[in-house]
Structure formats: structure tokens, C-alpha cells
Structure 1
């Protein structure tokens, strides 16, 4: 009985163990099915699986084509597309690091075919980033593409032995940046984060900009490239002072000590070529102002041969207005700093003294530059006198805000050029000549129409215009004009104190002035406006009646 019972017990144990084994098998089978189903339902898991397979074996390289086709699907979700794009970036970076894109002399033919196929797929992927993503209207897609492209540029430059920046991804990226809309923030981000920070990126970006102007483009595309190139180049700071400052590289640091990336002259040459290509295109008036505004601080220091800019400056002068003034500022910089000869400089400056000068919104800028241009004490007295006389004549018809800048400037010129003070007071020693002047007066020898400031005869004239301004209707102007008739005890006036005057400022000064004595005003309140009496119309009534009849 005991034996039977033990056998029965053993049989029951075997049945329970077999049932547990079947349950485990069913659970494993079920879990495998669930995993497969989850991968089908989760596209990101499927993408990760394809990525893992590609990196495990080259037999799975065809998965790259599958991932690229996923990006091109029109009905694909945006999250899936973005995840695929990032995954492909990781894949290609890993393949570059492993040397899968490099072929040597002893590489078998079959291996070369695979390398060529990989490069074609990589180029297809890059084109998607450049065209479909970076030039997209969606900011998120642009930012993703820009980040991935910069990651690929870094990997490209560090993976290959002698990397060709001219033929690499950077050149294509710069070309697309120049074709983006003028207000696109990606270009500014590239300039601030990369071009201004890394010496190698700046060097090859300048090289790529110059190359972009050599292609055939329609007029609209050429204008866009010019505008964006101007915007990109305008972000450049001053060039490095020595080769020791060239130490920040985005890609692989060149091993050769004589490499062009270590040469300040080579960097300047690339900047010069990029700027010349931009300046030789048709710049708009606003673009010229931008270029001329930064000419002395950010453009001229990059040039190895500054004299090549003379033609651009003289052409800019012919534009007129504020552009001419800025062009003269650039010419004066070349004369003063680079010792270039330009004999007609003051002739052109004199031509800017026209009737609209004191009414111009650029009046303050003009007087600041005029103060600089006329600062030399070695200028001929006849030249200085012509400027003084012409501005005095213009002040007769100028606004008060403009006159208050002219008078202190004239005072400073007299202190700097004492020979011109004969225009204030000239003693006539011949009694007969003095008598004739007192009885008949004299004609002003100054020729306002003469274009040559050395031939105007201003030095023989007098500043009767300033004395006339001493009776100006505005008390501030009249008071200021009287300083020319007083002793020159003040060393000079700070012109900045008079440049920002306007009607509003002058009016507020008068309204805020404290009156020592209340003015007496007499007036009579009229009893009638349109009628002279109860039966007759007055002058205003008659006028209103005629207006009514004509209408």
C-alpha cells in the first residue's frame, strides 16, 4: 500500500511539473508575439531596431534606404520623421568614425562599390536636410536640420585625413544660408555661434561666400545673395592681430605649422575676396549705408590692399545724401590712416554744403564728421574761409536748430585758423577807400556758385550773415550769434552740446524758462466775427460768402 501510494504521489508530481513547463512555453510564445506587435505599433522602436542592425553588420546597410524612404513619406507623422532624421545622423557619424567612407589604394573593388553606395545615400540624406528641412517654413525643422548639419560637418572634418572644406558639406550649407530669406534667424545664429567663434569655420565660410558669386543666378537670386552676404559679413569683428590668436578650431587642428589656417594674411585675403565679391554686385542704397557705416571699423582692417576700395567709395559718393557723407568718411580714413592721395576730397566735401543741409535729418552726423575733416591746422586759409562763408550764408535760411550748430563750429574754426579772423574785422587804412566804403558800400566778393573752394574769394569777404543773425527772431539764436562779435576768450565749444537741438527741444526750453517778470499783454475781445454791424457783413463774412457761392 505504501508503495502504491508513493507511486501515485510521484505521478501527480510529474503531471504538475509538465503543466508548469507548458505554461512557461505559452508565456514565452505570447511575450514574443507581444514584442513583435509592440514594434509594429511603435515606429520609434522599429527605427531603433533598424539602426542597431545597420551598426551590427554591413549586410543590413539596405536599412539606410528604408529609413530615408520613411523621411520622404508624405503621410508620415512629424515625430517619426524627426526621430528618423536624428537616427540617420547617428548612423552616418558612427560609420564615418569607423572609416567606412574611406578607400585606400589596396581596397577591393567590391568594397569600393559599397563605399560609393554609402556616399550616395549620405548625399541623399544631406540634400534632405539642406532643402526640405533647412529651407522649410517651420522653425522647429530648421533648427533640427541646422544642429544635425553642424554635427555632420564636425564629424566630416575629423574623420578624414585631408578634408576638403571647399568640396565638403560646409560649402553647401553656406550657399543655402545665402539663399534663405533676409530675416531668417538661422543665418544670424550661424554667424554668432560658429563663424565668429571658430577660426577654421570663418576662413572657409569666407571662401564659400566668394565662390557663391561666381555662379549664374537670376537677378532676384543675385539680389538675395548680395543682401545676405552683406548681413553675414557685417557680423565680423576685427581680424586677429597675430597667428597666436588663431587657436580655436571646429574641425581637426592642422598638423602642419605652415598651414593657411595659421596665417593672418591668408584669413585677410579670404575676407578681402568675400567683401570684394559682395561690393562689386549691385548694392541697394540701404546696403551701401550699412557697408559705409562699418567701413572704418570692420571692413578696411580686413583688406590687404585698401586702395582697391577707392572706386567703391567714389561711386558711393555719387549716390547723394547721407551715403555721400559716409563715403567721404571712408575716404578720409584712407587718407589719414593709409596715406592714400585723394586731391578732390575737400572739393567733394564742399559740394555737400547745399540748401538742404541744415534741414536734413543727417545734420548732426554731418557736423560731427565735418569737425573731424577740418581738424587739421595745415589746411589753406582760403579753403577754410570758403567753408565758413558758405555755412554762414546757408544759416540765413536755416532753422534755429541748425543755426545753433553753425555758429559754434565757426567759432572753433576761427580759433584753429586765426588767419581767417580777417573775415570778422578788417581795418581799412586808406582814407579815400574807407570813405568810399562808408558812402557807397561794397559788393560781396564771395561767389556762392563757385564749386572750387579755393576760388570762391571768401577770404576777401566778411561775415555780415552772422551779424544779421544777431537780430534773429529766436532769442537763443540771436544770443549765440553775438559770440562772434565778442572777444574770443573761450578756447573752443563742445559741438556735441549743440548738435541734438530741434524745434521740440528749443520750444521746451522756452516753455520751461522761469519768467522774472510777467509780460503785459493788451487785447480786445471782438463782439462780432463775420459781421460789421447788425445789417452789414464784415471782411471775413464777405470772404465766407464768396467761398460758399463758389462751392
Structure 2
């Protein structure tokens, strides 16, 4: 019995050992399955690697594995996107837990780990900036931009004052400047971040100024200049006062007198960014874009608006519509900022050339001219020069341009009654009158004089307008007669005459209702080339000569 019992006990022990060994083997097998990334489920594999990294620093090498996965050329887009999102979560958690911070008391082994983490982080950021943000795929671009802004936020929340100049934001701004023109990512950054957060705006302006002053090849310089204008032109709202609470993307500065709280500091950074842009060599189209928003989005950011004078003066020398826009900017500085520019009307007068009334920018010119000449305190001699010169140009202008000149002259005569002597000036001396009637007189107006104060127009008359009263186009002739009538109308709305063209004038004539049917007498000829059956007519003789010469 004892022998049997001993055998039975031994068998039970062996069964228990065998069962225990089998359970341990299965547990190890399951552990190996859970540890190895699944090829069938890449998302689960990425999440597993992420969990292991956050679980223990012994698994930091998994970061290298994830980065290698992103770098693989044959990696699927979904897998790459999942990987960079996981890496963003990893680095944000590590930064939040202080793993990127080192101090003098940090052991040497810890310093090596921190340095290694910073190198892997920089490698990851370079991938986002170079491969994903510049990708042709919109989804990859959007994901990369969102992650980069998340990393910027996390970086700025570290201990102590964050160094924005050496941080991720500066690299992101450079990448945005190197994106193709009209890229939606740059517009999204301007609308959702730069315009809203004071700290992002301040350091973005700082980065733009620093990057534009670097050395670049011609093509790169043109690209970053165009993109700089795109970013800067989005800033349509200027901080009003230092007391206004600002919105910050990162931590609020601890110092009460920090530059982020200063409107002057913000304007100074914007001024430097604009000056760097203007000095980078603008193309003709870029110059027009900047000139078009000088009054609204450029000059308000300048602490010293006189620094724009050189740019506006150089732009005037370009000619054409650019000169007109430059004068508009100069007029804004003179009118709103009280800057002294004595040669303004001299330059404006020089734009009245023979091609003005034929130009496609004619309407814009007359709108601005009406604004420039709106003051009632302008010298009569100067006003007379503008009136006289435009009257002379109207003699050779198209009807669509003449119909804008005449109402403008009417308004100027109403605004400056002293110039009405140009309409009708009687000669009291009988001898002079007799001399004028017999031999006429020479017009004292000097068309070639460049100084509007020295043309002698105030001594002349508007005989050109009287000549236009006999113009071949009935609309022009009728409109010109208003100068000879009593000035009962207070003024004409110039907008009603600016957008005229040959098509508009022709359609107006064709659509006009006839009060009286015109009498037309005609006779249908029986012959064209001959006068009789045997003789050729004048047209027949002419056609014969043409045939012989050919």
C-alpha cells in the first residue's frame, strides 16, 4: 500500500509540474506575441511601442524604431501619419515630465540620455518640416502643421522663460516662408494663430525680419519675399494700448514690463519685418500689392512713418500705375501723418501725359486725382495748371476719357471760383481788343513747363472746352456745353462718368428712343460697275486699273 501510495503521489506531482510548465510556456508565448509588433495590425504595433516608451526609459530605443518607420520610403500614408502622431504624444509627455531638462546637478549618465532625446526630437521635427509640411498631400500637410503647433505650445510651457528665437517657432516660420505661394497652410497660420496670439505674432515678426536679412539665391529670395508680404498683410488689427489684455499661446510672461505687453515693441518688430521685406527687392507686381495697402496695413505699424518715404519715392519713378499708387501713399502720409513733401503736386502734375486718357488705369487716376485736389486751400495758379493741361489732353483723347475730364473741370471751377476767369475774360482796352480780333493771340500756357506754378495757365482760357462743343460725338459735345452755361449745379458725381467705354457709349446711343424718325432719301442703283451696257462707270474704271496693276 505504501508503495502504491508513493507512486500515486509521485504521479500527481509530475502532472502538476507538467501542467505548470505548460502554463508557463503558454504565458511566455503570449508575452512574446504581445511584445513583437504585429505585421497585420500596424496601429496596434505603434501603440504598443508608444506604451512601452512611456512605461520605462529602458524602452527609449523604440523612438528610433518609430522614426525609422516614418523614414521608410515604402511606408503607407496611414501608417506614417499614425507614427508621427504617436511620436508627438511621446515627446509631449516627455517634455511635460521634465525629461528634456538638465541642470548642473544632473548626473553624467542622465545628461547623455537628455542629449540623446533632444537629438531624436530634432530628427523628428526635421521630418515634420521637410517631408510632411512640404508634402503635396493635403492630409499630411494638415497633420504635420497641427502637430508642429502642438509641439510649439508644449515647448513654451517648460520651466523658466522660453527662448522663442531658438525654439521650434523660428524653424516653422522659415518653413512657411519657403512653401509655394498661395499655400493654404500659411494662410491658416496667419488667421488662426498669428492674428490672435500676441506672443506668436511678436516672435513671427522677429523671425521674418531675421530670415529675410540672410543670404539667399534669387529664386528663393523672390519666394520668401512674396510669402512675407502674404503673412504681413494679414495683420489688419493693431494692438491699441498696453493695458489691453493679450492672448498668449504659451505662458504669460512673469515680468510686468515684458516686451510682449508693450504696443511699442510690437510695432517696432512689425516695422523691422516690413523694412526687411521692402529692402529684399520687390518685383513690380509685389510693389503694387504693398503700395495698395500702405494706408491700411503698412504705415499704421510704423513708429517712424518717414522711413516709408524712400520706398514711395522710388516706387514713383517706376512709372505707370505704380507711380499713381505711390502718390496715393505719399498723400496719406502728408494728410494723416503731417509729413512735409513739397514736391507732391509737382509729381502729380507730371503724370498728366498724352497716354493718360487712353490708359486702362484712367478711372483709378481720376478717383485719386479728385481726392488729391479736394482741398479748397490749393493755390489758384496750381489748380489752373491742372485744369488747362487736362483740357489740352482732352483734344486728343477718346470720348470715354473726355466725358470724365469735363465734369471734373466743372467741379474744380466750382471749388475754386478764382479760376472761372479762364472761362470768360473780356479785354477792356479797345486797341488790344481790335488786335485780338484781327490777328488773335498766342496762348500764354506753356505745355512743356514741369512746374505747375509756372505754366501761366491762370492767364490763359479754356478754348479747348469750347472746341469740344463741336466734337463729332454728340455726348461729348452736349457735355462740353455745361461750361458755357450757368453753374447752377453744385457738383457732378464723378463716379457716373468714370467707367465709360466705347461699348457703353455705343449701347447708350443704340438704346436711345427716337423722338422723331430721321428722314432718309436713297435710290437703289441698277448698275454698280457700268453706266450702260457698253460703258464702264467710275467704279468700273477704277477696278479695271486695279486689275491691270495686279
TM-score normalised by L of structure 2:
0.92
| SS of alignment partner, residue 323 of structure 1 | helix
Q: Is the 8 A contact 1:206 1:271 kept in 2?
A: yes
* Alpha-carbon shift at residue 533 of structure 1 (Å): 5.2
Counterpart CA distance in 2 for 1:297 and 1:411 is 31
CA pair 215-546 structure 1, distance change in 2 beyond 3 A: farther
* Alpha-carbon shift at residue 532 of structure 1 (Å): 5.4
| SS of alignment partner, residue 358 of structure 1 | helix
Counterpart CA distance in 2 for 1:535 and 1:168 is 101
* Alpha-carbon shift at residue 384 of structure 1 (Å): 0.6
Q: Name the structure 2 match of 1:498.
A: 497
Q: Name the structure 2 match of 1:3.
A: none
CA pair 197-535 structure 1, distance change in 2 beyond 3 A: farther
Q: Name the structure 2 match of 1:380.
A: 379
CA pair 31-452 structure 1, distance change in 2 beyond 3 A: same
CA pair 73-452 structure 1, distance change in 2 beyond 3 A: same
- Indicate yes or no: 2:162 matched with 1:175: no
Q: Deviations over 1:97-145 (max 9, x none)?
A: 1111111231111111111111100000000000111112222221111
Q: Name the structure 1 match of 2:260.
A: 261
Q: Is the 8 A contact 1:199 1:246 kept in 2?
A: no
Q: Is the 8 A contact 2:174 2:208 kept in 1?
A: yes
Q: Name the structure 2 match of 1:229.
A: 228
Count of paired positions: 538
Superposition pairs of residues 151-550 of structure 1, within 5 angstroms: 151-529=150-528, 534=533
Counterpart CA distance in 1 for 2:461 and 2:406 is 15
* Alpha-carbon shift at residue 523 of structure 1 (Å): 2.6
Q: Name the structure 2 match of 1:121.
A: 120
Stretch moving more, 183-192 or 258-267: 183-192
CA pair 79-439 structure 1, distance change in 2 beyond 3 A: same
* Alpha-carbon shift at residue 543 of structure 1 (Å): 6.1
* Alpha-carbon shift at residue 542 of structure 1 (Å): 6.1
Q: Is the 8 A contact 1:179 1:225 kept in 2?
A: yes
CA pair 471-128 structure 1, distance change in 2 beyond 3 A: same
Unaligned runs of 5+ in 2: 1-11
CA pair 444-168 structure 1, distance change in 2 beyond 3 A: same
Counterpart CA distance in 1 for 2:342 and 2:364 is 23
Q: Is the 8 A contact 1:246 1:261 kept in 2?
A: no
| SS of alignment partner, residue 446 of structure 1 | coil
* Alpha-carbon shift at residue 240 of structure 1 (Å): 1.3
* Alpha-carbon shift at residue 250 of structure 1 (Å): 1.1
Stretch moving more, 73-82 or 61-70: 73-82
TM-score normalised by L of structure 1:
0.92
Stretch moving more, 425-434 or 304-313: 425-434
* Alpha-carbon shift at residue 519 of structure 1 (Å): 1.4
* Alpha-carbon shift at residue 545 of structure 1 (Å): 6.3
Superposition pairs of residues 136-151 of structure 1, within 5 angstroms: 136-151=135-150
* Alpha-carbon shift at residue 546 of structure 1 (Å): 6.6
* Alpha-carbon shift at residue 243 of structure 1 (Å): 2.0
Q: Deviations over 1:261-283 (max 9, x none)?
A: 11000000000000000101211
CA pair 170-404 structure 1, distance change in 2 beyond 3 A: same
Q: Is the 8 A contact 1:238 1:302 kept in 2?
A: no
Unaligned runs of 5+ in 1: 1-13
Counterpart CA distance in 2 for 1:450 and 1:254 is 62
CA pair 541-143 structure 1, distance change in 2 beyond 3 A: farther
* Alpha-carbon shift at residue 255 of structure 1 (Å): 1.8
* Alpha-carbon shift at residue 350 of structure 1 (Å): 0.4
| SS of alignment partner, residue 92 of structure 2 | helix
Counterpart CA distance in 2 for 1:531 and 1:61 is 107
Q: Is the 8 A contact 1:238 1:301 kept in 2?
A: no
Q: Name the structure 2 match of 1:103.
A: 102
Q: Name the structure 2 match of 1:78.
A: 77
Q: Deviations over 1:52-104 (max 9, x none)?
A: 01101111111101111111111222211111111000100111111111112
Q: Name the structure 1 match of 2:3.
A: none
Q: Is the 8 A contact 2:389 2:447 kept in 1?
A: yes
| SS of alignment partner, residue 435 of structure 1 | helix
CA pair 156-462 structure 1, distance change in 2 beyond 3 A: same
CA pair 267-348 structure 1, distance change in 2 beyond 3 A: same
Counterpart CA distance in 2 for 1:305 and 1:499 is 36
Q: Name the structure 2 match of 1:53.
A: 52
Q: Deviations over 1:330-373 (max 9, x none)?
A: 11111111111111111110000011111111111111111111
Counterpart CA distance in 1 for 2:549 and 2:70 is 76
- Indicate the RMSD between aligned Cα atoms, in angstroms: 2.6
